[in-house]
């Protein structure tokens, strides 16, 4: 089933599908925001909403299972997501990777195994998807790796292959040069790392006694936002792609913020404070977007002049 992070489950009581996202913004005009939520009660679904908070649509309403971690393809026409729905090819209801069109049609399963596959994120050219696989489904907390595969699920390659280590939440930069992810490989807590798309040249970007989650590339691949509890509560931070200039964007000691995603034009960031909010890229101008629980989110990129998925 869809994984729930114990630490975040205490903090973010809304939805909490820890098929955690791997959200990297691709350049373009700002389309819809996709997010997962259990706002209708029971299972979680993938929803879309306009950046002004209008036109809320449930894309997976027919499913009675949990869907989470929506991630837009760079052309804004497809969404990858994780689901634990029971199908003829998933009789045990493990978490598997699915893709669908932007309107929720043509939902198709692309991973098939008895393990849990989560955290899908498209490559910039749309040909491959990076994701997390749980190689210890019984214990569930001792061995996760980051893999890539073709967009149809073929040619799966393990990039981290580190038994006893949790490597997860991968996120592909828009220039295609690096994949960000989190890992507890230092033996203590989760830190943010990057690597080349073939798994080489691993670099550690954060190093402290706190937990870091949800790394998210800006559309120009120069910045990364992430969630951290280094200030005693969860906040959204931004840093340069080399780990420099780590800055608190939310600075909200009265509450917990996290799970951020950049807008395709680079000017806004959507994030969670129980409900979805947006803010300017410098942390100013915070606005509540939804009423009701929400968790993972990602912002649809649209080619210049393309109004697909957007109402005028």
In order of 17, 149, 230, 276, the CA distances from 49 in angstroms are: 19, 29, 31, 11
Q: Which helix (H) or strand (E) holds 11?
A: helix 6-11
DSSP class of residue 184 equals: -
What is the pLDDT, as a whole number, of residue 103? 97
Distance CA 178, CA 241 (A): 9
Q: Which contiguous run of DSSP H or E holds residue 6?
A: helix 6-11
Gap between the Cα atoms of 14 and 190, Å rounded:
22
**pTM for this one?**
0.90
What is the bridge-based pairing of β-strands 297-302 and 29-37? antiparallel
CA 224, CA 242: separation in Å to the nearest integer? 9
Supply the Cα-derived Rg of the chain in whole angstroms.
17
pLDDT attached to residue 304: 67
CA distance 231 to 297: 23
Strand 287-288, strand 108-109: pairing: unpaired
**Is residue 256 within 8 Å of residue 233, measured between CB atoms?**
yes
CB-count exposure of residue 160 (10 Å: 0-12, 13-18, 19+): buried
CATH number of 6-302: 2.120.10.30
Question: Which residues of the chain register pLDDT less than 70?
Answer: 1-24, 137, 139-140, 304-312
User: What residues does each domain of the chain span?
Assistant: 6-302
Please list the residues that pair with 130 across neighbouring strands: 121, 148
Q: Report pLDDT for 24.
A: 56
């Amino acid at each position: 089933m869809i994984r729930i992070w114990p630490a975040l489950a205490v903090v973010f009581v809304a939805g909490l599908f820890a098929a955690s996202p791997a959200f990297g913004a691709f350049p373009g005009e700002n389309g819809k925001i996709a997010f997962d939520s259990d706002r209708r009660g029971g299972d979680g679904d993938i929803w879309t909403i306009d950046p002004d908070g209008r036109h809320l649509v449930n894309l997976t309403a027919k499913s009675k299972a949990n869907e989470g971690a929506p991630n837009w393809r760079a052309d804004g026409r497809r969404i990858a997501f994780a689901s634990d729905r029971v199908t003829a090819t998933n009789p045990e209801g493990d978490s598997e990777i699915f893709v669908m069109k932007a309107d929720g049609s043509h939902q198709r399963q692309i991973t098939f195994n008895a393990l849990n596959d989560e955290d899908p994120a498209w490559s910039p050219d749309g040909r491959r998807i990076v994701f997390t696989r749980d190689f210890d489904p019984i214990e569930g907390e001792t061995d996760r790796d980051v893999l890539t595969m073709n967009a149809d699920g073929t040619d799966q390659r393990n990039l981290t292959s580190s038994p006893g280590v949790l490597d997860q939440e991968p996120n592909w930069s828009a220039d295609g040069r690096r994949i960000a992810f989190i890992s507890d490989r230092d033996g203590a807590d989760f830190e943010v790392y990057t690597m080349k798309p073939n798994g080489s040249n691993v670099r550690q970007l954060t190093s402290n006694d706190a937990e870091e989650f949800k790394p998210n590339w800006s559309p120009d691949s120069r910045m990364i936002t992430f969630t951290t509890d280094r200030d005693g509560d969860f906040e959204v931070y931004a840093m340069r792609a080399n780990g420099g200039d780590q800055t608190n964007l939310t600075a909200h000691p009265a509450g917990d913020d996290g799970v951020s995603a950049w807008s395709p034009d680079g000017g806004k960031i959507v994030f969670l404070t129980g409900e979805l909010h947006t803010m300017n890229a410098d942390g100013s101008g915070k606005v509540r977007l939804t009423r009701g629980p929400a968790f993972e989110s990602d912002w649809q990129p649209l080619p210049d002049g393309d109004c697909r998925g957007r109402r005028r």
